[in-house]
Structures are given as structure tokens and as C-alpha cells.
Amino acid sequence: MDERSTELELVLDGIAQGGEAVGRHAGMVVFVAGGLPGERVRARLVAQQAGFGRARVLEILSVSPDRVAAREPDAAHIDWQHIAPVAQQRLRQTIVAEQLTKFCGTDPSLVGATVATAAPWHYRNTLRLHVAGRQVGYFRRGSRLLQPRRGDPLAQPLLNAVLERLADALSVAPADMTGDITLRLSETHQYAVAAWHGTDAARPALARWRAATPALAGIVMGAGDAIIGATDVIERLDPVVWALHPMTFTQPNRAVVRHLVALVHAGLQLRGGERVLDLYCGAGTFALPLASRGMRVTGIEEQHEAVHDARRSAGYSGIAGARFHVGRVEDGITSLTGRFDAVVLDPPRRGCHPRALAALGPLGARRLAYVSCHPGTLARDCRQLIDAGYRLCQVTPVESFPQTPHVEAVAILERD
């Protein structure tokens, strides 16, 4: 095709779970980045496979009332900044409902309104960036080309101040310096810790960065010792005191944790004293708050570092009702004995292992809370649970990452 033949005029009438608007042309589904349902656009086809294509907006011929001016038009990691906040929440609800209807045939009315976060900008307490030579930033979508950044409008202000000092330090770093860096903020105590994965030649430049940045409490080289200062982020989310290595995965929007824990607790109808199984428990995001409320919680997680942090946090918080096992969930669940009153599932984007879901039946749990960060794998796994005798009671989307299409959701399932 020549360049002109790749230009299409499309009416956009849907939204895909990846955040792109959906149109159709000559029997082909076209996913359009930068578009909105209800718009008519001129778009350029950038990729085509059997039955579908991907395109980018060239011109908006009919504008949706949900469109707003983009704050940083060239920032590819802020995919939904052109969508009004209320419309973002509505689209998240639509995406979750459509995936569950597609895989499970469930009534869309089971999916409630999206729980909105208070801060649409400057909410992230964790950033993962790339360093190439004397620049730090994010890779452009679909490439290894670096988009340099001295700040991120999604990050909290102190984290941006630390990032800006890093950009300054790199300006005199070795030209061949490469690697990845994670910045994590303690919102409670207002300091940051960094973790560096890359060439050891970066050590002098990183040490200069630490010395010039009072808010940077320490830098960890890979899994080793800190170059200087602290190695942990200490965070408080009453009544839990968290002690976290900077590379331990936790929810990067702290305000969302309160919503998720409350939804899980209410959905499981817990009153205290119940035996709860927390699968893919990570650093105890759900296990520790539930145990602090009187539940007896058993967590399983394959990342040793996360379990180490969960145990330390339990000790710092004086929580005795949680115990943790290291191992793959699909293996560890088969060694459990006795019955559980409820189960929390909080898997990564790939969802739950089928063997883990199949093993839930003999444990006797009447209610399950599935916390998902990917609507497609949530719907796929709910299909297996429904086939095993559970029924879907309610699903609540949660706006964890405003200005992006990512959505968390808490699904509650029950069986007699």
C-alpha cells in the first residue's frame, strides 16, 4: 500500500481493553490510538493483520464532548490524558463489563461504577525508568528509543525533585552508562530510595546524585547492599507499618490500597476470626490489613523478597495472625490442610494458574475476592471459577492509574 492508501475515515463506536478506540473499515476491526468513542476521525493505518488493524489519529472530524486538551501530547505513557476524568471512569467500567460479558456471559449490571481516586495527577509513589548514556526516561511505545524526562506529571512532587537531580547527575556521567532505575517514595516520611540495575561503572555518578539529593535516603545496587544510606522504604497505612525493599512490588498509588482492602473486606463479609487464604499475596497488601482485623491469614507468594518484606512488616506492626509461604501458588496450595472461610486472589497481569483455580474447591471457601489488574485475564479466570460452581456476585472497577487505560477491579464470587 502507498502512504495515501493507509489513510482511513472511521466512525469510532467502542473502546478496547488496551485503551484504544474501536472502528471498522471494510470488515476489518481497527484499533485507533488517540481516538474516542463517538468520534469520526481520519486515521493512518500503521499495522494490519488478519481481521484487524491498528491506526493513529491524523485529524478529528467530529469531536467527542469527552475530549480535553492533552497536558503532554508527546508523553506516550499517559495514554488517556485526552479524556475527561469522568469519562475515563465510565470507560473503565465499560471495558471490565465487556470482557466479563464476552468470556462469562454475565449481566453487565454486575459491574458497578468505577471507584475514583482523589488525585488525577501526581499520585505515583514509584517510577521505573531507563538510563542510556547521559539521559534518563521512558522508552517510546514499541521501541527502544528513549524519551528523556526530568519529571513526570503522574509522579508525586518529591519523586520528581529526585528525578530532576538524577538528570543533572547524569549530565556528567560516562557516555556509555546504561541500565534501569527504580525510584520509590515513602509518602509517610517523605524520602526516596532507589535501586539500580546496570553497569557498575555508574557507581560514581550515582553516589554524586545521592550526595546532591537530601531527599534520596539510599541507593541499592541490584539485590546487593546500598551504596550509601537506607535500603528500605518505611510506610505506614494504619494499622500496618510496611518495610519494603525498593524492588518489592506494591501498589504505586497508595490511596488505592485503602479502597481495595475495604472492597475485599466487605465483599468477603468478614467479621473476625475467619480463616482466609491470600494467594499471590506479595508483600501482604491484603494479608496484613485483614490479619490486623482479627482474621487468621495464610499467604502464598513465589517472590522470596516480597515474603521477606511481608514478614518484617508483620513484626513491625505487631501482627501475629498472618503467616506466609514462599513458592508457586499452584504448587503451594496443594499442601494446605483444613478448610478456609474465604480466599483472596491477587495475581499479576497474566492471571491465575489454572491448577491454582482448580485446587480451590476442596478448600471449602464460600466467598472469593479476585483483585485483578487485567480485565481479560479476570474474565478468563472467572469463567473457570463459574464452571467450578461459583457465581459472580459483583465487580467494582477501581481507578488506580488516572490518565492511563489501566484498571484494577475487585470481583466477588460465591458458592453455596
pLDDT tens-place string over residues 74-106: 898 999 999 999 999 999 999 999 999 999 999
Measuring CA to CA, how many Å separate 254 from each of 116, 156, 268, 307? 13, 11, 22, 19
Same domain, 270 and 394: yes
Instruction: Residue 322: count other Cβ atoms within 10 Å of its Cβ.
Output: 26
CA dihedral 371, 374, 378, 381 (to 10 degrees): -110
Contact in structure between 323 and 300 (CB atoms under 8 Å): no
Same domain, 329 and 269: yes
Q: What is the mean pLDDT of the chain?
A: 94
Do the bridges between strand 240-244 and strand 233-237 make them parallel or antiparallel, or are there none, so unpaired?
Answer: antiparallel
Rounded to two decimals, the pTM is 0.95
| Domain-located, residue 240 | no
**What CATH number does residue 63 fall under?**
2.40.50.140
DSSP E strand boundaries for 263-321: 275-279, 296-301
The pLDDT value recorded for residue 350 is: 97
Same domain, 58 and 103: no
Same domain, 191 and 291: no
Q: Is 303 exposed, middle or buried (0-12, 13-18, 19+ CB in 10 A)?
A: middle
What's the sign of the alpha-carbon dihedral 311, 128, 167, 189? negative
Same domain, 109 and 139: no
Same domain, 130 and 150: yes
Which residue's C-alpha cell is 546487593?
224
Same domain, 284 and 307: yes
The pLDDT value recorded for residue 316 is: 97
- The order of strands in the sheet holding 226-229 is 146-148, 135-139, 126-132, 178-186, 191-198, 216-221, 226-229
Same domain, 275 and 168: no
- Count of domains observed in the chain: 3
| Cis before 405 (ω within 30) | no
Same domain, 41 and 107: no
| Domain-located, residue 163 | yes
pLDDT band at 225 (very low <50, low <70, confident <90, very high): low
Same domain, 314 and 359: yes
pLDDT at 172 over 90: no
Domain that holds residue 324: 89-119+253-414
- Summarize the confidence of residues 3-27 as an average pLDDT: 90
| Domain-located, residue 75 | no
| Domain-located, residue 247 | no
Could you list the active site residues?
Answer: 373
The pLDDT value recorded for residue 14 is: 97
Same domain, 284 and 323: yes
Instruction: Residue 61: count other Cβ atoms within 10 Å of its Cβ.
Output: 13
Same domain, 264 and 403: yes
Q: In whole angstroms, what is the distance from residue 97 CA to residue 390 CA?
A: 18
